[in-house]
Amino acid sequence: MSKKIAIIGFGAAAIGFIEKIKEHDFDIHVFEKSKDIYSSSISGIRADGKLFVSTEMGGDMYVNPELQKKLVDYYISHTDSNTVEKGHSFTNEKFYRQFYARGFQPITADFYHIGTDQLKDVLYSIFENFKKYKNVHFHFNQEITHVDKSEEQIKLSNGEVFDKVVIAVGRSGHKLVKQIISDYPELVSDNTQVDLGIRYEVPDHVVDELNKEMYEFKIRYKSKTGYMVRTFCNNPSGYVVTENYEDFTTVNGHAKLKDKSKNTNFAILATIKLTEPFNDPIGYGSYIAKMSNLLAGEGKVILQTYSHFKNSKRTKNLYRVLPTLDESKYILGDINLAFPRRIMESIIEFIEVLNEIVPGIADPDNLVYAPEIKFYSNALDNNKYDNLKFIGDCSGATRSIIYATAHGYMMAEEITGKL
């Protein structure tokens, strides 16, 4: 009889895993908490869909660039028209040198942007393909809350028993991972950092040259405070959106393939590494987010102009740059009341130095939204147990669609290779 494998969560990592294992002799059951495939809570491939090939970003593991490109092509092959926007971050020597000279560390990568509007169809097309395999079974509306492990088998919270369980719940599944870690603490190998900062919005023309050349410009900068600051998720002609966690709201951004705005938004994040006695970076980030929500009102984020952000004054009016975030989702305020000084200083220094290369970036009426947070999951040890594995963002090893997909793919290779 074929061995039974459960995959918890149907996101990017699960897709890579199923794609590689679907033709092998396993009985595969996918448990997804969203109510169906159309439901928007399938988070990984829900918004933006910027796929990239890089060995310098995307996760804390090595993924062969050839496999990364193969997976990019796989996703593109599931679009209707094979139409994507493309860019190359810092492969142009002129830009590389210009940023390097000012103290930035440019990150090289190739980008392929599918766009929020095409993503649902991509996910649906992949799902339809998997459904054709008789050994692949989907169970929606099934939130798994804990797993019970013995030497031979694993029992899920819904009572079903499997030979092997692959946890692929991404960041939104942190409750399940927390539960598993508290039952099996030996799985945790590292837990130290959180990225905290803002989403910045400027008129397209300010960053036109960079957008055209690279689509996404990725840079890191060591500020005088000692914090490493970085750009993340640049959205030319994009939109700022809010993101709701269970008990707080943060800001994010995305871009569509067709429906364009006149602004570009990107995140500027400071990496905060906590050392003993603190061991709860997620808790630290959540409290700062909650403090921002407390000032803005429930479910809202703070919006401020750059000059007020810099001079710690509450913003009461906007000038030339108008927000792409819906008016009901923000309050004009002062982020200084919620963010620690060291983070503020690091971000301001970053913007001021960037302005020397990209004039207009530090214009007083550019828009600052907060809080933007990127949590790092605990790094989990996949060598501890043979029948309980973690893939994608919940494992702490990945932070992107392609890395998560690759992690799933490589885990399936490992499992099928052991046969």
Ligand X SMILES: Cc1cc2nc3c(=O)[nH]c(=O)nc-3n(C[C@H](O)[C@H](O)[C@H](O)COP(=O)(O)OP(=O)(O)OC[C@H]3O[C@@H](n4cnc5c(N)ncnc54)[C@H](O)[C@@H]3O)c2cc1C
For residue 363, which amino acid is it? D
Which of 29, 300, 308, 399 is close enough to bind ligand X by CB under 6 A? 399
Site string for ligand X, 49-88 (x = CB under 6 A): xx--------------------------------------
Q: Which of residues 193-252 bind ligand X (CB under 6 A)?
A: 243, 252
Q: How far is the CB of 101 from ligand X (least distance, A)?
A: 29
Q: Does 19 bind ligand X (CB under 6 A)?
A: no
User: For 351-407, what is the HEC assignment?
Assistant: HHHHHHHCCCCCCCCCEEEEEEEEECCCEECCCCCCCEEECHHHHCCECCHHHHHHH
Which region, left, alpha or beta, applies to residue 183 given φ > 0 means left and ψ of -120 to 50 means alpha? alpha
Residues 6+ apart with CB under 8 A from 191: 279, 281, 378, 379
Q: How far is the CB of 1 from ligand X (least distance, A)?
A: 25
Q: How far is the CB of 175 from ligand X (least distance, A)?
A: 7
| Per-residue tokens: 227 | 């914090």
Which of 5, 18, 21, 42 is close enough to bind ligand X by CB under 6 A? 42
Cα 335 to Cα 333: distance, rounded to the nearest angstrom: 7
Q: Does 8 bind ligand X (CB under 6 A)?
A: yes
The closest alpha carbon to 281, from 340, 176, 196, 382, belongs to 196
Q: Does 168 bind ligand X (CB under 6 A)?
A: yes
Residues 6+ apart with CB under 8 A from 257: 83, 84, 85, 113, 114, 115, 116, 117, 118
Q: Does 126 bind ligand X (CB under 6 A)?
A: no
3-class DSSP state for residue 416?
A: helix
Nearer to ligand X, 34 or 382 (CB): 34
Q: Does residue 109 contact residue 52 with C-beta atoms inside 8 Å?
A: yes
Q: Does 406 bind ligand X (CB under 6 A)?
A: no
Q: Does 396 bind ligand X (CB under 6 A)?
A: no
Q: Does 32 bind ligand X (CB under 6 A)?
A: yes
Q: Does 167 bind ligand X (CB under 6 A)?
A: no
Q: How far is the CB of 375 from ligand X (least distance, A)?
A: 11
Nearer to ligand X, 241 or 270 (CB): 241
Q: Does 41 bind ligand X (CB under 6 A)?
A: yes
Neighbours of 260 (CB within 10 A): 13
Cα 62 to Cα 265: distance, rounded to the nearest angstrom: 29
Which of 44, 106, 115, 323 is close enough to bind ligand X by CB under 6 A? 44
Q: Does 11 bind ligand X (CB under 6 A)?
A: yes
Q: Does 333 bind ligand X (CB under 6 A)?
A: no
The closest alpha carbon to 47, from 121, 128, 120, belongs to 120
Cα 64 to Cα 390: distance, rounded to the nearest angstrom: 20
| Per-residue tokens: 147 | 């797993």
Site string for ligand X, 177-196 (x = CB under 6 A): --------------------
Site string for ligand X, 131-150 (x = CB under 6 A): ------------xx------
Instruction: Tell me which stretch binds ligand X (CB under 6 A): 26-34, 148-156, 196-204, 342-350.
Output: 26-34
Q: How far is the CB of 65 from ligand X (least distance, A)?
A: 15
Nearer to ligand X, 216 or 334 (CB): 216
Q: Does 257 bind ligand X (CB under 6 A)?
A: no
Q: What's the first-to-final CA gap in the chain, in angstroms?
A: 14
Which of 48, 110, 216, 334 is close enough to bind ligand X by CB under 6 A? 48
Nearer to ligand X, 18 or 303 (CB): 18
Nearer to ligand X, 29 or 300 (CB): 29
Which of 5, 20, 34, 123 is close enough to bind ligand X by CB under 6 A? 34
For residue 42, which amino acid is it? I
Q: Does 404 bind ligand X (CB under 6 A)?
A: yes
Cα 162 to Cα 150: distance, rounded to the nearest angstrom: 11
3-class DSSP state for residue 318?
A: coil
The closest alpha carbon to 206, from 163, 150, 264, belongs to 264
The residue count for the chain: 419
Q: Which residues bind ligand X (CB under 6 A)?
A: 8-14, 31-34, 41-44, 47-50, 143-144, 168-170, 172-173, 176, 243, 252, 392-394, 399-402, 404
